[in-house]
Structure 1
Amino acid sequence: MKKVFYNLSQIIELSENDSEFIKLMVATFITEMSSDLDALAVAVLEKDRANVHSYAQKMKPSLELFGLKGHHMALKLETRGESQDEKDIHEDFMYLHRELEETLIQLRRDF
C-alpha cells in the first residue's frame, strides 16, 4: 500500500469537484513547487536568509492547500529566514525537500 502525501479535499471543495480544475491545480502545483524548491535549495546552500524567507513564504499556502505537513517546515524556514539567529536551517529544509520530492513524484504518477 502506497503512502499518500497529499490531500486534495480543499481543492475538490474549492472546485466543486471539477476534474479539469483539479488537474490544472495539480499541474500548476507540480511546476511551481519544482521551481520554488530548487530556488529554496540554492538559498539554503548559499545561506541567503532573505531568499529562504521569501521562497518559504511563497510556498507555504500551496503546501497547506495540498494538505502537506511540510507547510509547518515552510513556516519555520520563513521565520528563521528573517531572523539573525544562526540556527541551522538545513534540517528543516531537508524534511520539506523529502516530502515535496515524494509528493511531486506521486502527483506526476497519479495525474
Structure 2
Amino acid sequence: MKKMTYDLSQIKNISDNDPDFIKMMVDTFVKEMPVDLERLAAAVVEEDRVNVHRFAHKIKPSLELFGLKGHQQALVLEAWTKNNGPEDLNEDFMKLQQELEETLIQLKRDF
C-alpha cells in the first residue's frame, strides 16, 4: 500500500473535524488543482515568469493546508520569478506534479 501523500489535520483542526467541511475542501481541491497545475505547467514550459509566480502563489496555501511537501517546490518556483537566472525549473515542477497527481488519486479514492 502506498503512503498517504496528504495530511488533513489542519483542515480537521480549523473545521472542528466537521466531515461536511472536510469533504467540501477535498472536493474543491480535487476540482481546482488539476486546472491550476495545468496552467502552471504551461507557464513553466513557456518560462512565463508572471504566470509561474501567479499559479505557484495561488496553489501554495492549498499545498500547505493539505500537508503536501510540494509546498517547497512551489516556493522554489515562486522564487525563480524574482530572479533573472536561467535555473531549470523542470525538476522542481516534476516533483510537484508527481506529488499532486498521487494526492489527487488518493483523495478521489478516499472521498
- TM-score normalised by structure 2 residue count: 0.97
Q: In structure 2, what is the equivalent of residue 80 of structure 1?
A: 80
Cα shift at 1:32:
1.5
Q: In structure 1, what is the equivalent of residue 99 of structure 2?
A: 99
| Paired residue type of 2:17 | N
Q: Deviations over 1:15-59 (max 9, x none)?
A: 101100000000001111111000000001111111111100111
Q: In structure 2, what is the equivalent of residue 54 of structure 1?
A: 54
Cα shift at 1:82:
2.6
Query: Which consecutive residues of structure 1, in runs of 5 or more, have no partner in the other structure?
Result: none
Q: In structure 2, what is the equivalent of residue 20 of structure 1?
A: 20
Cα shift at 1:84:
1.3
| Paired residue type of 1:89 | L
* Whole-angstrom distance in 2 between the partners of 1:65 and 1:21: 13
Query: Which consecutive residues of structure 2, in runs of 5 or more, have no partner in the other structure?
Result: none
Asked whether the equivalents of residues 50 and 82 of structure 1 are also in contact (C-alpha less than 8 Å), the reply is no
| Paired residue type of 1:20 | D
Cα shift at 1:3:
1.0
- TM-score normalised by structure 1 residue count: 0.97
How many positions carry a matched residue from both structures?
Answer: 111
- 4+ residue stretches of structure 1 with deviation over 6 A? none
* Whole-angstrom distance in 2 between the partners of 1:83 and 1:51: 14
Identity of aligned residues (%): 61
* RMSD (Å), alpha carbons: 0.7
The answer to whether the aligner puts 1:30 opposite 2:55 as a matched pair is: no
Cα shift at 1:2:
2.3
Report the secondary structure of 2:42's partner residue. Answer: helix
* Whole-angstrom distance in 2 between the partners of 1:30 and 1:84: 33
